[in-house]
Amino acid sequence: MLNNNDNTLLRKMYYIPTLYYWLDTDELNTTIRYELINRLNKYKKAYYNVKNNHITSNMIEKTEEYYIYKSALVRIILMDYAHKHSNNKGKDLLMDLLNKWMNSLCISNQNKKYIYERTITNIRKYEKNINNIENILMLISLQILENYYTK
């Protein structure tokens, strides 16, 4: 669970562009979501195929495949969130992401804490300059985004 200090430090509300992600009919939503998931799976496969070849000094190089996969993941998370929570703010989504990460039982406490703190630091560093929830989500650790997406 997030501590109160971290909650207050995420000051901006970040507008979620629900008009961009909200689809009026369930049929249209299902069709678009299906296409986004197919792309996400393709990009995920490409990223994990390339990832193993780009490890230097225990650091994973952020390749083009990394950014394409992460962007596709952000799109599907925003689409699902906007469709289910049309009146919520971006801060609510951020809190959901981070809370789900910290409450996960299948991740070691040491990894949870390290990735969480690194992500909070990254968000705080750029929070004053970024007003777009999509860009803020791109700052969040890929592991946290993947954890959130696998509901």
At 85-132, the pLDDT tens digits run 777 777 888 889 999 999 999 999 999 999 999 998 888 888 777 778
Contact 63, 54 (CB under 8 A): yes
Least reliable range by pLDDT among 24-33, 119-128, 131-140: 24-33
The string of pLDDT tens digits covering residues 53-73 is: 655 555 666 888 889 999 999
pLDDT of residue 147: 94
Contact 77, 137 (CB under 8 A): yes
> Quick one: pLDDT band at residue 4, thresholds 50, 70, 90?
very low
Give the chain's mean pLDDT: 80
Using the 8-state DSSP alphabet, how is residue 128 labeled? Answer: T
Pairwise pLDDT comparison (151 vs 146), residue with the higher score: 146
* Number of independent structural domains in the chain: 1
Judged against a pLDDT cut of 60, whether residue 32 lies above it is answered with yes
Q: Rounded to an integer, what distance in angstroms lies between the CA atom of residue 150 and that of residue 38?
A: 15
E-only strand ranges, the chain: 55-56, 59-60
Q: Rounded to an integer, what distance in angstroms lies between the CA atom of residue 91 and that of residue 35?
A: 27
Q: What is the pTM of this model?
A: 0.81
- Residue 130, classed as helix, strand or coil, is coil
Judged against a pLDDT cut of 90, whether residue 11 lies above it is answered with no
For residue 56, the enclosing domain spans: 4-149
Task: Look up residue 66 and give its amino acid.
Answer: Y
Contact 9, 120 (CB under 8 A): yes
- Dihedrals φ, ψ of 89, to 5°? -100, 165
Dihedral (CA of 116, 117, 121, 122) sign: negative
Pairwise pLDDT comparison (23 vs 108), residue with the higher score: 108
